[in-house]
């Protein structure tokens, strides 16, 4: 029996793997800028915002700060960038609109069909650093048919801390080897594999735009390696719709 035959649930990294955070946020930031007559380098603003993602979580992972949901971290990093980009005088409603850009990210084109196929045979959920409130609104916005939202907030730990994966499996009444992480990032898959998770790599070559190279599956040994969620569904024996 192949390792993947024991899998009962597939859980998904979200930012970059399920949704095109960069393209979606640049579109929203440009629309906001145009509506307000604010000319800024919004591509760079989006990259800078994402750049503050790991340092924000690291405060929690290191134990220097109690568990704090990602929406709060996104707001704090936004406030730093508004200062850096000299954008002043926004109303609370504008700030909320910008913070919730992360609730309205659009999926890659293969996502909804692939998830729909996988859902018929497996439990499917998130294993993201997104908080529940963020992930559930994104799901409604983009039609992502999760069975449930799990991941960091349920496990009270940010990836790649082992507890983020172990707690996700436990919340589903499963052992780590019964859960497969689907992700576009080798470091995420490597951390999950260390806890016993099965692994599926999905290449998202345009995640970071033209300037930064995305991960490839080269030199790694994941249980599945493909370039779409339909590829994952094929590998996991889910019939085409």
- Span of 35-43, 52-60, 146-154, 204-212 interacting with its own copies by CB under 8 A: 146-154
Binders of its own copies among residues 88 to 127 (CB under 8 A) are 123, 125
Rule CB under 8 A: choose which of 146, 158, 201, 222 binds its own copies: 146
Question: How many positions of this chain bind its own copies (CB under 8 A)?
Answer: 23
Rule CB under 8 A: choose which of 29, 87, 139, 224 binds its own copies: 139
Rule CB under 8 A: choose which of 132, 190, 203, 235 binds its own copies: 132
SS3 letters across 64-117: CCCCCCHHHHHHHHHHHHHHHCCCCCCCHHHHHHHHHHHHCCCECCCHHHHHHH
Binders of its own copies among residues 49 to 88 (CB under 8 A) are 71
Cα(177)–Cα(16) distance, integer angstroms: 24
Nearer to its own copies, 45 or 146 (CB): 146
Q: Taking Cα atoms as reference points, which of 140, 231, 188, 156 lies closest to residue 11?
A: 188
Cα(51)–Cα(56) distance, integer angstroms: 9
Site string for its own copies, 161-200 (x = CB under 8 A): ----------xxxx--------------------------
**Under 8 Å CB-to-CB from 141, ≥6 apart: which residues?**
103, 104, 105
- Span of 30-38, 81-89, 148-156, 195-203 interacting with its own copies by CB under 8 A: 148-156
Nearer to its own copies, 87 or 138 (CB): 138
> To the nearest whole angstrom, how small is the minimum distance from the Cβ of residue 232 to its own copies?
19
Nearer to its own copies, 69 or 82 (CB): 69
The residues that bridge with 193 in the sheet, in sequence order, are none
> To the nearest whole angstrom, how small is the minimum distance from the Cβ of residue 102 to its own copies?
12
Nearer to its own copies, 79 or 147 (CB): 147
- The 8-class DSSP code of residue 44 comes to H
Beta-strand relationship, 123-126 and 9-12 = parallel
Rule CB under 8 A: choose which of 14, 57, 150, 191 binds its own copies: 150
Cα(167)–Cα(104) distance, integer angstroms: 26
Cα(26)–Cα(66) distance, integer angstroms: 31
The residues that bridge with 199 in the sheet, in sequence order, are 181
Site for its own copies, rule CB under 8 A: 71, 123, 125, 131-137, 139-140, 146-150, 153-154, 171-174
């Amino acid at each position: 029996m192949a390792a993947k035959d024991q899998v009962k649930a597939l859980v998904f990294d979200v930012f970059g793997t399920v949704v095109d955070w960069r393209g979606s946020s640049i579109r929203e930031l440009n629309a906001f800028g145009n509506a307000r007559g604010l000319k800024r380098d919004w591509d760079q603003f989006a990259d800078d915002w994402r750049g503050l993602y790991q340092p924000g979580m690291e405060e929690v992972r290191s134990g220097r700060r109690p568990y704090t949901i990602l929406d709060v971290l996104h707001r704090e990093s936004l406030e730093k960038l508004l200062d850096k980009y000299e954008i002043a005088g926004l109303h609370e409603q504008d700030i909320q609109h910008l913070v919730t850009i992360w609730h309205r990210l659009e999926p890659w084109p293969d996502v909804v069909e692939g998830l729909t196929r996988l859902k018929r045979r497996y439990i499917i959920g998130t294993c993201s650093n997104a908080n529940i409130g963020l992930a559930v609104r994104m799901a409604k916005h983009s039609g992502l048919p999760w069975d449930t939202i799990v991941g960091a907030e349920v496990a009270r730990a940010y990836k790649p801390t082992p507890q983020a994966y172990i707690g996700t499996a436990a919340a589903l009444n499963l052992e780590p080897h019964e859960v497969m992480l689907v992700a576009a990032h080798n470091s995420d898959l490597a951390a999950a594999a260390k806890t016993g998770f099965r692994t599926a790599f999905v290449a998202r070559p345009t995640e970071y735009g033209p300037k930064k190279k995305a991960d490839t599956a080269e030199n790694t040994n994941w249980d599945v390696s493909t370039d779409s969620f339909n590829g994952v569904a094929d590998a996991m024996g889910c019939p085409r719709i």
